[in-house]
């Protein structure tokens, strides 16, 4: 095999790596005969960045196999069960999780939405299927914990699986941490039931920035130009 052929093969492997990790810094040194061929990539990434790049390629062979095996395992477990550790540590840490005492991970499954409802004789069947439903169910199960956030982990033809991050407000490690002890205040009890979590704010139509700092013009005009009278006055 000639030197040019070997270099072409090394370049092809590097190209496949770039497609899987577009923001990856890679460096390949291959010995061809008595010379070293060095190929470099773009920039460095940490471990969590690698995991995040993998989850952006859900159709890759690695992630398809991993999600399929995990989904089979989740189907054998209860609807709500405690997880020993987050299955997506990069996503959990972005949403506030810390690998320390006082933080708990629960995994919950909900029925998938966008499916035709069964309505025999006009009677609709089913349960709420939105993202915030997992907060409510886990919050009812763990009344002594506070719901911090949640994220998607898997799905199949019938269910979606989420992991919910909960915090123990009475734990000393939480109460002494100035970055998270705000959740121990009584005003944050059952925050998931009052639409105060991230998903709850999205469902309420709230947002950030100057566009959300004033009332909508249409609703303000309608309120000022509508006369509402009670039927029995």
Report the number of distinct structural domains present in the chain: 2
**Any idea which of 18-32, 108-122, 131-145, 186-200 has the lowest mean pLDDT?**
18-32
Q: Would 178 be classed as within a structural domain?
A: yes
Q: Would 61 be classed as within a structural domain?
A: no
**82 and 33 in a common domain:** no
Q: Say if residues 169 and 184 touch (Cβ distance below 8 Å).
A: yes
Q: Would 177 be classed as within a structural domain?
A: yes
Q: Would 54 be classed as within a structural domain?
A: no
What's the whole-number mean pLDDT along residues 209-223? 84
d(CA 162, CA 152): 5
Q: Identify the CATH number of the domain in which residue 132 sits.
A: 3.40.1120.10
Q: Would 233 be classed as within a structural domain?
A: no
Q: How many CB atoms lie within 10 A of CB 42?
A: 12
Nearest alpha-carbon partner for 81 in 169, 143, 164: 164
Q: Would 224 be classed as within a structural domain?
A: no
Stronger pLDDT, 10 or 143, i.e. the higher one = 143
**29 and 92 in a common domain:** no
98 pLDDT higher than 90: yes
pTM above threshold 0.85: no
Q: Would 210 be classed as within a structural domain?
A: no
Residues 138-188 pLDDT 10s: 999 999 999 999 999 999 988 999 999 999 999 999 999 999 999 999 999
**100 and 21 in a common domain:** no
Q: How many CB atoms lie within 10 A of CB 164?
A: 26
Domain that holds residue 151: 75-202
Q: Would 187 be classed as within a structural domain?
A: yes
**191 and 122 in a common domain:** yes
């Amino acid at each position: 095999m000639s030197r040019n052929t070997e270099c072409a093969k090394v370049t092809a492997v590097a190209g496949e790596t770039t497609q899987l990790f577009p923001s990856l810094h890679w460096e390949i040194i291959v010995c061809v005969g008595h010379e070293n061929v060095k190929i470099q990539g773009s920039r460095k990434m940490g471990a969590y960045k690698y995991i995040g790049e993998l989850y952006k390629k859900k159709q890759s062979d690695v992630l398809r196999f991993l999600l399929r095996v995990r989904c089979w395992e989740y189907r054998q477990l209860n609807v709500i069960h405690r997880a020993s550790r987050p299955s997506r540590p990069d996503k959990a840490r972005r949403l506030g999780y810390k690998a320390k005492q006082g933080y708990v991970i629960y995994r919950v499954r909900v029925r998938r939405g966008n499916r035709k409802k069964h309505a025999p004789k006009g009677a609709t069947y089913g349960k709420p299927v939105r993202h915030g439903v997992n907060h409510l169910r886990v919050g009812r199960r763990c009344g002594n914990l506070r719901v911090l956030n949640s994220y998607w982990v898997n799905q199949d033809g019938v269910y979606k699986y989420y992991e919910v991050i909960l915090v123990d407000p009475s734990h000393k490690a939480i109460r002494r941490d100035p970055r998270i002890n705000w959740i121990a205040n009584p005003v944050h009890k059952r925050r998931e039931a009052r639409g105060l979590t991230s998903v709850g704010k999205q469902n309420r139509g709230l947002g950030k920035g100057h566009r959300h700092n004033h009332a909508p013009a249409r609703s303000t005009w309608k309120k000022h130009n509508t006369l509402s009278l009670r039927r029995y006055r």
